[in-house]
Amino acid sequence: MKVRQRDRAQLLGQVPLFSYCSQRELVKVAKLANELELPAGHTLIHEDAEVAYSFFVLVDGEAEVRRRNRRVGTLGPGDCFGELALILRRPRTATVTLTAPSRLLSISAHNFRPLLMASPEIQFKLLEALAERLAPATT
């Protein structure tokens, strides 16, 4: 069953990079997403082996994250990875392999960048979200 556009926008709204975007802006981003169904064992990204061009949200399924061949985490429904690939062109910092049959949303930088160029308000909100992540925590 395909993920409806409204549900795609809701999933993207939970991604820290998009946390400042309005519902209308999230719908614009959601329209860029492709839905993928992939089997267990499929490696989505390889650490250091490629320049990052895609961002993923796990709709259903599970994935394992490895750095330097060590398991560092597990991802489940609603988790995302690779969001900085939408902005930066750098090698991946981890390997992510599906450990169960999975459905994902994928957004490519190739499709995302034109949206940014046409939407200064989205640019600014992403900048806010990135600054928030970089700001030192205050207690």
* pLDDT tens track for 19-74: 899 999 999 999 999 999 999 999 998 888 767 788 899 999 999 999 999 999 99
Listed range (32-46, 85-99, 104-118) with the worst mean pLDDT: 85-99
Give the C-alpha distances (Å, rounded to integers) separating 129 from 14, 29, 120. Answer: 12, 15, 14
pTM for the model stands at: 0.81
CATH number of this structure's domain 5-134: 2.60.120.10
What pLDDT does residue 7 have? 85
Buried-exposed string 67-96: b where 16+ CB fall within 10 A, e elsewhere = eeeeeeeebeeebbbbbbbbbeeeebebbb
